[in-house]
Amino acid sequence: MKIKDLRNGMKRVSVEAKVTEKSDTREVMSRFKDATYNVATAMVGDETGTIKLTLWNEQIDQVNVNDTVKVENGYVTSFRGEIQLNVGRYGKLTVEQTE
């Protein structure tokens, strides 16, 4: 699937894209448990466009600028007016390391 085809609310999406930038890590509180999580966003793109990819905890250190990432069984949400790609609990994030 290509990035230009992603729409808010889509589920079970698989995308392969290159990381063009990555935000700093920030800490967020869980709404349900007394716990904190680390979150960051990576801008990923293919020849059709770009989208923000949400990274949680250990995913943050796996992904670097210029890596090619593959998201399988991900989903798309809208946050503050822009669509984002999420790996989610049932999805899989694979990083193909660049030389």
pLDDT of residue 96: 87
State how far the alpha carbon of 4 is from the alpha carbons of 15, 59, 63, 68, 71, in Å: 11, 24, 22, 17, 15
What is the pLDDT confidence band of residue 4, given thresholds at 50, 70 and 90?
very high
pLDDT of residue 27: 96
Model pLDDT for residues 19-71, shown as the tens digit of each residue: 999 999 999 998 888 899 999 999 999 999 999 999 999 999 999 999 999 99
What is the pLDDT confidence band of residue 99, given thresholds at 50, 70 and 90?
low
Shortest CA distance to 17 belongs to which of 59, 60, 66? 66
Domains of the chain (ranges, CATH numbers): 3-96 (2.40.50.140)
Strands 82-86 and 49-56: parallel
